[in-house]
Amino acid sequence: MPESGDSYNTAIQFGNVDLQNLISAMRITVIGQEYSVAIDESYLSMVEHFLFGWFKMYETVYFNAYKLFSEELLQLIFRWAKTLISDGKSEMLGMRENSPLYKLLTNGTLTVNEYMKLDDPAVESWLAR
């Protein structure tokens, strides 16, 4: 069974369901005047496993207190950086004015290539300065 990226990256084993198999068990049917998705009864335990895993991933990973705190802290850091830029103290940030992160903080226009450079390692290296 393939793992989801979040399940793999967090080493949490919830929701490892063969989605291709689950999708192949789905059928479109008409009930009354409406279309519905029906699932073969023999696949109900797989659907339950998928839904339970989805719920547990939210509970364990997405709504984890440490993750929520980290997001809030990162937002505060970015607000602080934007304030420094608007106060003319951008040299304190240690980033070039033509860098993708600087452009993002100043609502500048980013090319697709620049946007793609704004990955976790790029932000982490700036935070480490």
One-letter-per-residue 3-state SS of 48-106:
HHHHHHHHHHHHHHHCCHHHHHHHHHHHHHHHHHHHHHHCCCHHHHCCCCCCHHHHHHC
CA distance 81 to 105: 8
Single pTM value for the model = 0.58
Paired tokens of 45? 């335990």
Average pLDDT of every residue of the chain: 86
Q: Would you call 110 helix, strand, or coil by DSSP?
A: coil
pLDDT in tens, 69-99: 989 999 999 999 999 999 999 889 988 888 9
Q: Rounded CA gap, 80 and 118, in Å?
A: 18
Residue 13 scores a pLDDT above 70: no
- Comparing C-alpha atoms, which of 73, 67, 77, 72 is closest to residue 9? 67
Closest C-alpha to 122, from 46, 43, 114: 114
The conformation of residue 40, written as its DSSP 8-state character, comes to -
What span, in angstroms and rounded, lies between the C-alpha atoms of 40 and 80?
54
